[in-house]
């Protein structure tokens, strides 16, 4: 994804490509069977290869990598159609803790994440009729309500839970096995996991508040921007793989005595796919660069612009890949349809293209 790689980034890219070669699509079902489990072989390899530690602070067992390293990881995950709790843990959970967590919270969680011993999830979407609220209870709080569509919520050891407090939004660090917490776990359209989580008077102590009481929104926004930017990079990887698969297919599929790739109309269509991939790659790099901005509004504008373009470009690339392949692309045994499903889920996650277009309009990003 990066135009020029450092020696460290090239080593990272090489390790990602080796992982993909060792785990081709025909092994995916076996890997999905253990997705998110304590003995998940993919997560264990992430830790062994240093991918979980790549962008974490050195003082907490990380390698101190940049958002450029994160972009490189995410694009390769997209190319390999790798399903994992990486984004909920590293992009969402770690970002929230780094932005708002105190020294004790960071020291307790981040080294365990780097070593593959801990997974995190951000519970931020309220159920329509049961928004999550936290009311004072002595020195602590009582949390009640329901969160929906928590990505890998049942697989996380700790949840970062947003809740309405007296005059704002607060963020709480809650162990998954806490009393007063019920989790309904389910598969998602792209073979991942999500959960609906109910809080029935769950009590949390004062030291479980992440950041200031009523002041959790900036950390949540930073986490969601990071998650959206990561998914933009992942989408680019998936789009490039669909382009490459389709191009290879056009070179061997024959009709009327000639390969269909020799027909001019088909050539125009695959060139359009290529152009969408190139432009999407530039937008994903722009989103990752925006994460380094100190101004939250500018950061959000950069991420939203990328999410709009890549959401629409991904749909175009996916539809063209399916149509140019024909019926084979819709079979469960063929990878193209699975890539398109993942691209569809990426568009919907953390706000789809239409949502981010509205956000850009509010921020004046369309002027």
Q: Is 299 helix (H, G, I), strand (E, B) or coil?
A: helix
Q: How far is CA 265 from the centre of its chain?
A: 36
Compute the average pLDDT of residues 50-56.
97
Question: What's the pLDDT at 253?
Answer: 87
Q: Where are any strands of DSSP class E within the chain?
A: 120-123, 133-137, 140-151, 158-164, 169-175, 181-187, 193-204, 254-255, 258-259
| Closest CA relative to residue 205, chosen from 103, 119, 108, 136 | 136
Question: What's the pLDDT at 365?
Answer: 59
Counting residues of the chain whose pLDDT is more than 70, the rounded percentage is 98
Judge whether residue 366 has pLDDT over 70.
no
Judge whether residue 277 has pLDDT over 70.
yes
| Closest CA relative to residue 54, chosen from 40, 68, 43 | 68
Question: What's the pLDDT at 363?
Answer: 83
* pLDDT band, residue 3 (cuts 50/70/90): low
* pLDDT band, residue 38 (cuts 50/70/90): confident
CB atoms within 10 A of CB 129: 7
259 bridge partner residues: 254
| Closest CA relative to residue 190, chosen from 254, 230, 233, 235 | 235
For 151, phi and psi rounded to 5 degrees?
-65, 120
Judge whether residue 352 has pLDDT over 70.
yes
Copy the structure tokens of residue 231.
């998914």
The tens digit of pLDDT for each residue in 28-37 reads 999 999 998 8
* pLDDT band, residue 263 (cuts 50/70/90): confident
Contacts of 47 (CB under 8 A, 6+ apart): 53, 114, 115, 116
Could you tell me if 136 and 105 are in contact, meaning their C-beta atoms sit under 8 angstroms apart? Answer: no
Compute the average pLDDT of residues 290-309.
97
**Domain ranges across the chain:** 7-114, 120-208, 217-363
Helices (H), 208-263: 217-252
Judge whether residue 273 has pLDDT over 60.
yes
| Closest CA relative to residue 32, chosen from 155, 176, 150, 197 | 155
- CATH of span 120-208: 2.40.110.10
Question: What's the pLDDT at 257?
Answer: 85
d(CA 330, CA 321): 11
The reported pTM is 0.95
Residue 308 falls in which region: left (phi positive, over 0), alpha (psi -120 to 50) or beta = alpha
Question: What's the pLDDT at 309?
Answer: 98
Question: What's the pLDDT at 327?
Answer: 87
Question: What's the pLDDT at 364?
Answer: 77
- DSSP 8-state assignment for residue 126: B
d(CA 179, CA 217): 26
Judge whether residue 1 has pLDDT over 60.
no
Question: What's the pLDDT at 305?
Answer: 97
d(CA 194, CA 256): 47
Q: Which helix (H) or strand (E) holds 203?
A: strand 193-204
User: How many Å from the N-terminal Cα to the C-terminal Cα in the chain?
Assistant: 29
* pLDDT band, residue 255 (cuts 50/70/90): confident
* pLDDT band, residue 254 (cuts 50/70/90): confident
- DSSP 8-state assignment for residue 176: T
Q: Which helix (H) or strand (E) holds 324?
A: helix 296-325
Tell me the average pLDDT of the chain: 95
Using CB atoms within 10 A of its CB, is residue 26 exposed (0-12), middle (13-18) or buried (19+)?
Answer: exposed
Fold for domain 217-363? Butyryl-CoA Dehydrogenase, subunit A; domain 3 (1.20.140)
Q: Does domain 7-114 have CATH number 1.10.10.10?
A: no
Lowest mean pLDDT among 94-98, 194-198, 211-215, 253-257: 253-257
d(CA 141, CA 151): 25
- Who has greater pLDDT, 141 or 326? 141
d(CA 342, CA 6): 30
The tens digit of pLDDT for each residue in 127-166 reads 999 999 999 999 999 999 999 999 999 999 999 999 999 9
Compute the average pLDDT of residues 313-341.
95
For 167, phi and psi rounded to 5 degrees?
-130, 15
Q: Is 219 helix (H, G, I), strand (E, B) or coil?
A: helix
d(CA 85, CA 91): 10
């Amino acid at each position: 994804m990066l135009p020029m790689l450092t020696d460290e980034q090239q080593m990272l890219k090489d390790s990602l490509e080796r992982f993909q070669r060792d785990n081709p699509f025909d092994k995916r079902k076996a890997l999905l069977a253990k997705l998110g489990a304590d003995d998940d072989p993919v997560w264990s390899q992430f830790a062994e290869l240093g991918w979980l530690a790549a962008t974490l602070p050195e003082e907490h067992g990380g390698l101190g990598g940049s958002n450029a390293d994160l972009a490189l990881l995410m694009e390769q995950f997209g190319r390999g159609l790798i399903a994992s709790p990486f984004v909920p843990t590293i992009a969402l959970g770690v970002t929230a803790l780094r932005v708002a967590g105190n020294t004790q919270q960071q020291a307790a969680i981040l080294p365990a994440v780097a070593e593959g011993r801990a997974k995190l999830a951000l519970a931020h979407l309220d159920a329509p009729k049961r928004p999550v609220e936290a009311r004072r209870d002595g020195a602590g709080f009582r949390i009640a309500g329901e969160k929906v569509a928590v990505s890998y919520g049942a697989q996380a050891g700790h949840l970062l839970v947003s809740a309405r407090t007296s005059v704002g939004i607060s963020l709480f660090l809650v162990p998954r096995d806490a009393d007063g917490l019920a989790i309904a776990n389910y598969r998602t359209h792209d073979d991942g996991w999500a959960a609906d989580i109910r809080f029935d008077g769950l009590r949390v102590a004062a030291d479980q508040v992440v950041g200031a009481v009523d002041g959790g929104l900036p950390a949540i926004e930073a986490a969601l921007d990071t998650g959206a930017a990561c998914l933009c990079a992942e989408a680019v990887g998936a789009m490039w793989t669909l382009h490459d698969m389709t191009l290879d297919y056009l070179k061997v599929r024959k009709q009327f005595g000639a390969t269909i790739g020799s027909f001019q109309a088909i050539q125009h269509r695959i060139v359009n796919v290529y152009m969408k991939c190139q432009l999407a790659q530039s937008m994903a790099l722009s989103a990752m660069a925006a994460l380094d901005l100190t101004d939250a509004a500018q950061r959000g504008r950069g991420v939203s612009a990328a999410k709009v373009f890549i959401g629409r470009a991904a749909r175009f690339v996916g539809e063209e890949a399916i149509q140019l392949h024909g019926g084979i692309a819709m079979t469960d045994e063929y990878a193209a349809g699975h890539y398109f499903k993942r691209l569809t889920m990426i568009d919907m996650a953390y706000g789809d293209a239409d949502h981010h277009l509205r956000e850009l309009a509010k921020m004046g990003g369309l002027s």
